[in-house]
Amino acid sequence: MFGIDEVRSLVQGSDHLGNEQKVVTRFPPEPNGYLHIGHAKSICLNFGIAQANNGDCHLRFDDTNPVTEDIKYISSIVEDLAWLGFGSGKPKHFTSDYFDQLYEWAEYLIKNGDAYVDDLSPDEIREYRGTLETVGKESPYRERGINENLELFRKMREGEFEQGSKVLRAKIDMEAGNLNLRDPIIYRIINVDHPRTKNSWRIYPTYDFAHGQSDAIEGITHSLCTLEFEDHRPLYDWLLDHLPVSIRPKQIEFSRLNMTHTVLSKRNLKYLVDEGLVSGWDDPRMPTLSGLRRRGIPADAIKTFCVGLGVTKANSTVEMAAFDACVREYLNENAQRRMAVIDPLKIILENFEEGRIEQLEVENSPKSESFGTRNLTFSREIYIDREDFMEDPPKKFFRLSPGKEVRLRYAYLIRCKEVVKDTEGKIIELRCTYDPETKGGSAPDGRKVKGILHWVSSHDAINAEIRFYSKLFNTEQPGKSAELIDDLNRESILVHKNCKLEPSLLKFGCEETVQFERLGYFCKDTDSSQINPIFNRTIELRDTWSKLNPSNIS
RNA sequence: UGGGGCGUAGCCAAGUGGCCUAAGGCACCGGUUUUUGAUAUCGGCAUUCGGAGGUUCGAAUCCUCCCGCCCCAGCCA
């Protein structure tokens, strides 16, 4: 087990390096999906170590399999990476750029008697490989002559053989306990054009034959990868030992990020998208970087979270609450405050003159004066949230109820005089009075008012749709004890229409997350338009009250 | 009776033989402050390090055995 500092010292104290060698790491996504928070961990680790050591970190697309990869993913990956604050904005490294070198090295192996062309079928290869508990047996083609191998391999390259009919294998040890060493396939025929090399190649190197070598070509000193590649390290080293490479990258494994209440595998994420269970890769409920961004989570909050993660070899699952805490901590310091009413309940202030409008200058954040101030308008008719009024309140409810007094944030103390209902008995309006002596919210007589409500003035409030997002799955480990779909939280999105916002909110951009006081953090959604503003709830505020009295929250 | 890993509080995780009757964060519980039931702040939360033996004056740290969990039988990465 090792911590991030140990990875750093591992890097710094590496004896496999020459004294003066610069540390170079790499982040090697395969262009076949979108980046998610798990990738962010790897990104922050790799780029972080490079920065800490005055080194470099290469974004390298590991594009060795043209059947699953697509060029369209490259731009999203580059974009997400740049959003996080890493990379130059344009991709510079591709495994496919090394196909010529890789091919040459394959011939080098053949010439040294370290690789051979195998005619066994895929089924036969599997059969010959043996099982976890029984050794494999050697292919009848294993002892072909070097010239025959060379000739066959060149014909493979020329496209003379059917896909699946031949492969190039490293000649290692069919009896090895580690299956990866049982003559691993290093080149296979794939009669498919490559997104970048087009129709130049009919054979493509496997991950095992491409990764370490690409590392060597780029001068990568530390190749950090996830635990499932531990078994591949002996092969990674074997290949480098048998090839004329000048530098020796070192593979170091650490555990991938797992989080509760979500899924972090391409397969499951793709399933959610393909089945229409979410609106797309950038659905605000998705743990993808594009989804988190759309939900309003700042890149810096993600980075802080990732830097704080343990870099160890223990399989672990981080509670979503830890991520939430990180997001709240960041937003509490950096987000401006505004007021918004989700479910408007009209209040008429009977003693406030009709037609009169008052301007109130209020701070944009209690955290720092540097956020500046804005004006709120106050008028005879205002809205509060329906949830903040109870006709027959429980004991500790200190919001508004008949006869009670509360403070309207930044404005005045008001007292509820009368509840107006429609014929159905639904409350449609509250008649209240305000205390003119309490402008700004403090009473000259020093009387304490515990309840404080957010509000907007009906005079200039704007209408908006607000989408409340919550965890995508109800269970901590979705799909563990049921089908994935059964664990889905069917209420992970709740849309509220006809919400009332203070007008200054119109000026905010999509990624400028603001706090709606007493409610949470929100940001404008990309679906938003001038006439139809839409906001996403990024995350709710901590709420001790609803936790203590869940039944009091409608 | 294949190989490779991992096991410190509900979660993540420091710790590499003595200052460990085990840091820190999240979660949780309780107090204070508060014009956000937010924030801030204070306090509580492992006599114990998967278990059992052993070595040692001294062990989470070293040794032995045992138990549990994860990964590997793609011409995926």
Which pTM does this prediction carry? 0.95
Placement of tokens 């609450």 in the chain:
A321
The residues, any chain, with a CB within 8 Å of residue A126's CB and separated by 6 or more, are none
Strand partners, A62: none
For residue A322, what pLDDT is reported? 98
Residue nearest to nucleotide B7 (CA to C1'): A314
Secondary structure element (H or E) that encloses residue A407, with its range: strand A405-408
Q: What is the DSSP string of A133-177?
A: SS-----TTTT--HHHHHHHHHHHHHT-S-TTT-EEEE---TT-S
What DSSP line would sit under A178-197, residue for residue?
SGGGSS-EEEEE--S-BTTT
* Phi, psi dihedral angles at A460 (to 5 degrees): -130, 15
| A554 CA to centre of own chain | 31
Q: Which of A137, A256, A270, A367 is catalytic?
A: A256
Give the span between the Cα atoms of A320 and A251, in whole angstroms: 30
> What's the CA A539/C1' B25 distance, rounded, in angstroms?
20
Interface pTM (ipTM) of the complex? 0.97
Q: What is the pLDDT of residue A553?
A: 42
- What pLDDT shows up at residue A60? 98
Active-site entry in A30, A107, A138, A358: A30
Selecting among A266, A270, A409, A471, the annotated active-site residue is A266
Within 7 A of a protein CB, which nucleotides of strand B? 2-8, 10-16, 25-29, 35-40, 69-77
Nearest nucleotide by C1' position to the A181 CA atom: B3
Distance between the alpha carbon (CA) of A314 and the C1' atom of B50, Å? 14
Q: Are A377 and A459 in contact (CB under 8 A)?
A: yes
pLDDT along chain A (554 residues), means of 10: 52 56 94 97 96 94 97 95 92 96 98 98 98 97 98 98 98 98 98 97 98 98 96 98 95 97 96 97 98 98 96 96 98 98 98 97 96 98 97 93 97 98 97 97 91 97 98 96 94 98 97 98 97 97 82 46
The amino acid occupying position A445 is D
pLDDT for the residue numbered A552 = 46
Q: Give backbone dihedrals phi and psi of A134, rounded to 5 degrees, phi first.
A: -125, 145
Query: Token pair for residue A420?
Result: 């107006």
Q: Across chain A, which distance is largest between two alpha carbons, in Å?
A: 102
Task: Give the phi and the psi of residue A542 in degrees, each rounded to 5.
Answer: -60, 145
For the question of residue A266 being annotated catalytic, the response is yes
CA(A257)–C1'(B68) in Å?
22
Nucleotide nearest to A312 (CA to C1'): B13
Q: Which nucleotide has its C1' atom closest to residue A127's CA?
A: B73
